[in-house]
Amino acid sequence: MEIFSLLIVALFFAFTYFWSSTIEESYEFSNKIAAFSQPSLQDFRSSLGLVANQSQYLTKSYHDEIGKWTSGKYDNYTLISITDSFLPKFENLIISAKNMTYPTEYRYIHEALVNSLESETDSYRHFRNYLVSGNMTEDEISTDLLSVAFQYEQIYSKFLSVPNPNSNQNVTKLIDFNY
């Protein structure tokens, strides 16, 4: 039994050393990359497109559930529960968007994505409050926030719809933000 205990302790220390050195090396490597590289426009467009597609899918899924509520298949309590399950998914998407790296000259596009996701998520929180309370002001705030989210969405959608510029051309100058 004593040998078994010593073996367990030895394995624990070996694992702890390996794990901590791997973590440290990972952080060092990540920091070196972050310090010496700026994301390319293509990487940013790809990341932005991925988050935008995830957002569209999540939004469609949630609105399908709202449709079931509208048609009477769900009562308020069921939709409240469904909303509670969707809010963390939207929050995770916001975190992903905030953590996205971007070329500094495209900060406006990145902020439009983050603001769109935050407004949409806040809209659903107010819609949930409406479902709980019946307070029409909550429903109006929800609708207004969804409109704001859509306005921000138009900005990054236009960016994604413009072809890749050549290396010395800033694509934000090509977008007509009047809509």
Question: For the segment 98-145, what is each residue's pLDDT rounded down to a tens digit?
Answer: 999 999 999 999 999 999 999 999 999 999 999 999 999 999 999 999
Nearest alpha carbon to residue 128 among 76, 63, 90: 76
Q: Identify the three-state secondary structure at position 71.
A: coil
Q: Which pair of tokens denotes residue 137?
A: 């002001």
Say whether pTM exceeds 0.95: no
Spatial distance between the Cα atoms of 111 and 2, rounded to a whole number of angstroms: 60
Question: For residue 131, what pLDDT is reported?
Answer: 98
The structural domains of the chain, with segments of one domain joined by +, span 1-37, 40-173
Per-residue pLDDT band for 170 (boundaries 50, 70, 90) equals: low
Place of tokens 């306005």: 151
Q: Are 38 and 103 in contact (CB under 8 A)?
A: yes
Per-residue pLDDT band for 78 (boundaries 50, 70, 90) equals: very high
Spatial distance between the Cα atoms of 25 and 19, rounded to a whole number of angstroms: 10
Question: For the segment 81-98, what is each residue's pLDDT rounded down to a tens digit?
Answer: 999 999 999 999 999 999
